Amino acid sequence: MNVTIGVDVGGTNIVCGATDGTGRVLRKLKRPTEASAGHEAVLGRIADMVGQIGEELEADGRATSVGVGIPGLVDPLKGVSKFAGNLGWRDIPAAKLLSERIGLPVFIDNDVRMYIYGEAIAGAGRGYGHVLGITIGTGIAAALVNGGELYYGHNAMAGEIGHVRMDGVDELCACGLTGCLETVASASGMVRQAKKALREGRTGLLAERFAGEALDRLSAADLSAAMDDGDELAAEIIVRAGELNGRALAAAAMMLSPDVIVVGGGGALAGERLLGPLRKELYRLLLPDFRDGLKVVTAEHNDDAGIIGSSLYAAYRSGLIV
Amino acid sequence: MNVTIGVDVGGTNIVCGATDGTGRVLRKLKRPTEASAGHEAVLGRIADMVGQIGEELEADGRATSVGVGIPGLVDPLKGVSKFAGNLGWRDIPAAKLLSERIGLPVFIDNDVRMYIYGEAIAGAGRGYGHVLGITIGTGIAAALVNGGELYYGHNAMAGEIGHVRMDGVDELCACGLTGCLETVASASGMVRQAKKALREGRTGLLAERFAGEALDRLSAADLSAAMDDGDELAAEIIVRAGELNGRALAAAAMMLSPDVIVVGGGGALAGERLLGPLRKELYRLLLPDFRDGLKVVTAEHNDDAGIIGSSLYAAYRSGLIV
């Protein structure tokens, strides 16, 4: 059995686990990130967790490498976390620092790329030659896996579909550009729009449910629930987000001709509410030859997606998956 | 010397030539296509031309394979021309039929893919890891060459950037979709818009130069000349085409993070008139990290581009370039 360890470093929690070569989770652990303690403390905690998982693994065999998914900008070849806003990291050579502590090869990359890799190899994209994956969460990002190989592009920056300029969108994005897809079509973009509309006096079910200070607690799941109960505002926002994602994906798909599009991330939990309009707009804008062959599916892994992706990624980078 | 033969099959002429492994043209020939005589006659003519080039090559060594660029839809793996409107071909197994006549391995593909491949290996994209090429001609199409490898996608359909839906464009495209990039931003799209505006009574230099029946002869080169002489309509059309191409390329570039964008095809002959607005819009819409690293250059090869691309492609497909 080919055992590798995957780590998913979030702003709130670190999740660490071991999988076999097929993405089956053997062991896992979760601890608070406590990013405010600084990167040395966080890396120390990751090393401890990897050590503990390693001990618990005894019966299943020794892990051979570790993959660590880090949010934000990562240089996977140099092993450097270039910028991770919610961790407060800038230019941290995380792969080297962790490898010294752990005594195993450590590979880092952007968490989205690992997630899509996991889905392509051992999830909803399994068996397809060209997998285009998109995560709709706090932001929107994509990755491409061809014949089992991740596509990186210049400086490993490929996949920034969330910052494609969309017509009819005029919100300023955190990146400095205006009209980026993720400002309105990500999970947080949908929530932001709902809050704005409610603050501006929009009435309806959502307004009743989240009156006053309750508005701060409004989540993407609440939008789905309100849409199911007939709220117009929630439906408008989710449908538009689906259509905009479908539109950005249509442009990407005609350029790349994938076999399958895998939709993941928190936004995918909206299910057919979002995917219905996404598919409809996507197929409407595709050339017929593309329309007929292209499937759109949701990601298979949810809770363990981070571990599965990063551990399979470790196997990939260390040459165990060829 | 690694000699291969390239053939470019256009609606009007067939150009056939031999190159060495660096893309240097050793011999070439040109004959009318006479497509109306049917595909057997055209394939026979191609085989004759390849034979003649082969004889003339004696001193330079024997050609080892033949690449044939065909317009329209091609299945490069099966070697079938699926649909070539201006040749009247549908589902012609051209690679097999030609190989039987010529006695050498024959590889066919879409002419654009071959052209971009030639530019990536032995033209403006030489030395770059990730080359995104676009041809702006009768239509608009793209191809991607990564580390010397062409990207094909599902059914080898990748590269259809010309059919991305552009906002503010509402023309019906020959493909059946509406608002496709190529309806207004291709060389023929620009000419079509100029003719339409002149027919609707738009005045100016272009209107004076192409009054009455002369309008039918208006070409993309005439638009460039009129723009240089201060014509507003010509400038509007070319600048808008540049901006729309820049916009479509920005979306593709953030998804793919190429090292360089190579712009070719007849539209590239407009030079900085088109490329200036293209670059400006592209850089305006890119994330800063992409902006800093991405070059935009024009294709190096013009007249011999078809031969160079298809002959180098033959070497690539037969495993001589690795």
Task: Show the 3-state SS of chain B.
Answer: CCCEEEEEECCCEEEEEEECCCCCEEEEEEEECCHHHCHHHHHHHHHHHHHHHHHHHHHHCCCCCEEEEECCEEECCCCEEEEECCCCEEEECHHHHHHHHHCCCEEEEEHHHHHHHHHHHHCCCCCCCEEEEEEECCCEEEEEEECCEECCCHHHCCCCHHHCECCCCCCECCCCCECEHHHHHCHHHHHHHHHHHHHCCCCCHHHHHCCHHHHHHCCHHHHHHHHHCCCHHHHHHHHHHHHHHHHHHHHHHHHHCCCEEEEECHHHHHCHHHHHHHHHHHHHHCCHHHHHHCEEEECCCCCCHHHHHHHHHHHHHCCCCC
Retrieve residue A121's tokens.
């190899």
Strand partners, A178: A172
- CB contact under 8 Å between B251 and A251, yes or no, is yes
How close, in Å, is residue A141 to chain B by CA atoms? 9
Whether residue B15 contacts residue B29, with contact meaning beta carbons closer than 8 Å, is answered with yes
| CA A234 to chain centroid | 23
What is the rounded CA–CA span in Å between residue B81 and residue B67?
13
Q: Please, what CATH class does the domain formed by B128-298 belong to?
A: alpha beta
**Residue A88: DSSP 8-state:** T
pLDDT bin (cut points 50, 70, 90) of residue B319 is confident
What is the rounded CA–CA span in Å between residue B158 and residue B180?
16
Strand partners, B38: none
A87 to each of A42, A94, B16, B172, how far by Cα in Å? 9, 12, 60, 49
CB of A291 less than 8 A from some CB of B:
no
What is the rounded CA–CA span in Å between residue B315 and residue B322?
9
Please check the confidence at residue B91 and state whether its pLDDT lies above 60: yes
CB of B181 less than 8 A from some CB of A:
no
User: What pLDDT is stored for residue A320 in this prediction?
Assistant: 59
How close, in Å, is residue B141 to chain A by CA atoms? 9
- CB contact under 8 Å between B255 and A250, yes or no, is no
How close, in Å, is residue B159 to chain A by CA atoms? 4
A176 — alpha (psi -120 to 50), left (phi > 0) or beta?
A: left
How close, in Å, is residue B127 to chain A by CA atoms? 13
pLDDT bin (cut points 50, 70, 90) of residue B266 is confident
Please check the confidence at residue B321 and state whether its pLDDT lies above 70: no
Percent of chain B residues past pLDDT 90, beyond the cut: 87
CB of A160 less than 8 A from some CB of B:
yes
Retrieve residue A305's tokens.
């997606």
Please check the confidence at residue B322 and state whether its pLDDT lies above 60: no
| A129 chain-B contacts, CB cut-off 8 A | 154
What is the rounded CA–CA span in Å between residue B140 and residue B267?
9
- CB contact under 8 Å between A255 and B294, yes or no, is no
Tell me what the mean pLDDT of segment A258-280 comes to: 95
- A90 exposure class (CB count in 10 Å sphere: 0-12, 13-18, 19+): middle
Dihedral angle of Cα A48, A53, A56, A57, to the nearest 10 degrees: -140
- A255 exposure class (CB count in 10 Å sphere: 0-12, 13-18, 19+): buried
Read off φ and ψ for residue B50, nearest 5 degrees: -65, -40
B58 to each of A124, A130, A297, how far by Cα in Å? 55, 43, 56
CB of A163 less than 8 A from some CB of B:
yes
- Residue A156's closest chain B neighbor by CA? B257
What is the rounded CA–CA span in Å between residue B259 and residue B127?
10
Could you give the strand order of the β-sheet that contains B4-9, starting from the edge strand earlier in sequence? B25-32, B13-19, B4-9, B66-70, B106-110
CB of B157 less than 8 A from some CB of A:
yes
Backbone Cα Rg of chain B: 20
pLDDT one-digit tens code per residue, A284-312: 999 998 998 899 999 999 889 889 999 99
| A175 chain-B contacts, CB cut-off 8 A | 287
Q: How many CB atoms lie under 10 A from the CB of residue B217?
A: 8
Tell me what the mean pLDDT of segment A96-125 comes to: 96
Task: Give the architecture (CATH level 2) of A4-118+303-317.
Answer: 2-Layer Sandwich (3.30)
pLDDT one-digit tens code per residue, B290-303: 998 899 999 999 88
How close, in Å, is residue B24 to chain A by CA atoms? 29
Task: Give the architecture (CATH level 2) of A127-299.
Answer: 2-Layer Sandwich (3.30)
Nearest by CB to B158, which of A153, A167, A257? Answer: A257
Whether residue B132 contacts residue B144, with contact meaning beta carbons closer than 8 Å, is answered with yes
**Residue A215: DSSP 8-state:** G
What is the rounded CA–CA span in Å between residue A114 and residue A17?
14
What is the rounded CA–CA span in Å between residue B33 and residue B35?
5
Best A154, A183, A259, A260 residue to mutate vs chain B (most B CBs within 10 Å): A154
Strand partners, B9: B14
| B259 chain-A contacts, CB cut-off 8 A | 154
pLDDT one-digit tens code per residue, A138-167: 899 999 999 999 999 999 999 999 999 999
CB of B240 less than 8 A from some CB of A:
no
Residues 12-71 of A with CB under 8 A from B: none
Please check the confidence at residue A22 and state whether its pLDDT lies above 60: yes
CB of A156 less than 8 A from some CB of B:
yes
pLDDT bin (cut points 50, 70, 90) of residue B250 is very high
Three-class SS state of A282 = helix
Q: For B243-268, b where at least 16 C-beta lie within 10 A, e where not — what string?
A: bbbbbbbbbbbbbbbbbbbbbbbbbb
Note the ipTM here: 0.93
Whether residue A47 contacts residue A98, with contact meaning beta carbons closer than 8 Å, is answered with yes
How close, in Å, is residue A259 to chain B by CA atoms? 6
How close, in Å, is residue A74 to chain B by CA atoms? 12
Dihedral over Cα of B217, B220, B221, B226: its sign: positive
pLDDT one-digit tens code per residue, A172-183: 998 899 999 999
What is the rounded CA–CA span in Å between residue A20 and residue A23?
6
Tracing tokens 């989240």 back to the chain, one arrives at A210
β-pairing, B80-84 vs A13-19, is unpaired
| B157 chain-A contacts, CB cut-off 8 A | 257, 289-290
pLDDT one-digit tens code per residue, B201-210: 999 999 999 9
| CA B283 to chain centroid | 23
Three-class SS state of A118 = helix
Q: Where are the domains of chain B?
A: 4-118+303-317, 128-298
Tell me what the mean pLDDT of segment A247-257 comes to: 98
User: What pLDDT is stored for residue A308 in this prediction?
Assistant: 96
β-pairing, B13-19 vs B25-32, is antiparallel
**Residue A79: DSSP 8-state:** T
CB of B147 less than 8 A from some CB of A:
no
Whether residue A283 contacts residue A291, with contact meaning beta carbons closer than 8 Å, is answered with yes
How close, in Å, is residue B168 to chain A by CA atoms? 9
The residue among A56, A41, A74 whose CA lies nearest residue A5 is A56
Read off φ and ψ for residue B123, nearest 5 degrees: -140, -140
Is it true that B4-118+303-317 and B128-298 share their CATH fold?
yes
Residues 66-95 of B with CB under 8 A from A: 73
- E runs forming strands in chain A: 4-9, 13-19, 25-32, 66-70, 73-75, 80-84, 89-92, 106-110, 130-136, 140-146, 149-150, 260-264, 295-298
Please enumerate in sequence order all residues whose Cβ is within 8 A of that of A191, keeping only pairs 6 or more positions apart, or say none. A218, A219, A220, A223
Tracing tokens 């089956």 back to the chain, one arrives at A24
User: What pLDDT is stored for residue A203 in this prediction?
Assistant: 95
| B285 chain-A contacts, CB cut-off 8 A | 165, 177
Tell me what the mean pLDDT of segment B242-252 comes to: 98
Tell me what the mean pLDDT of segment A85-97 comes to: 94
Nearest by CB to A252, which of B156, B168, B255? Answer: B255
B90 — alpha (psi -120 to 50), left (phi > 0) or beta?
A: beta
